[in-house]
Amino acid sequence: MADEFGESAKEAPGGPLSRGYVGTALDDASRSLVIVVDPAMVDMERLARRLTAASGPSGVAVRVEATKVSVADLLAAEEVLRARDWHPDASTVGMAFGLDPAACRYEVTLSKTHEDVALALKDRLGELVDIRWGTPQRR
């Protein structure tokens, strides 16, 4: 996917996401690899043809699906997460987050002791975040 959408780096937030690539997910039910993209930015049929031709006889089915939310909304949510300004304590609490391409939302891990920070984030971003309680780990 790096050939199609570029590399991702912490120094360049957005990276492939800013070019329409939300991510890759596994669909256990259909035993396929799902590539999630924003159809407003990516020609899904062209991408599906390229991926099918490139996969060869591996036996792994590849499917291209449209994101459930726009890339613009995901990028805006990531900006909020990185700014850590949605609550007075947001910049001081341990937090980890990553984009779940299948759900098209960010999974955010916070300690249960910071429920007020989590609630403020949920109020700000709504369905674009899924709060998980635990000890944040770097990804």
pLDDT digits (tens, 9 = 90+) for 106-134: 999 999 999 999 999 999 999 999 999 99
Residue 56 sits at φ, ψ, to 5 deg, of 65, -155
Higher pLDDT residue, 13 or 21?
21
State both tokens at 117. 């920070």
Q: Which sequence spans correspond to the domains of the chain?
A: 2-66, 71-132
On the question of pLDDT at 14 being above 90, the answer is no
Indicate the burial class of 125 (C-beta count within 10 angstroms; 0-12, 13-18, 19 or more).
buried
On the question of pLDDT at 24 being above 60, the answer is yes
Nearest alpha carbon to residue 129 among 57, 80, 87, 89: 80
* CATH code of the domain occupying 71-132: 3.30.300
Indicate the burial class of 113 (C-beta count within 10 angstroms; 0-12, 13-18, 19 or more).
exposed
On the question of pLDDT at 104 being above 90, the answer is yes
Mean pLDDT, rounded, of the chain: 87
Higher pLDDT residue, 62 or 3?
62
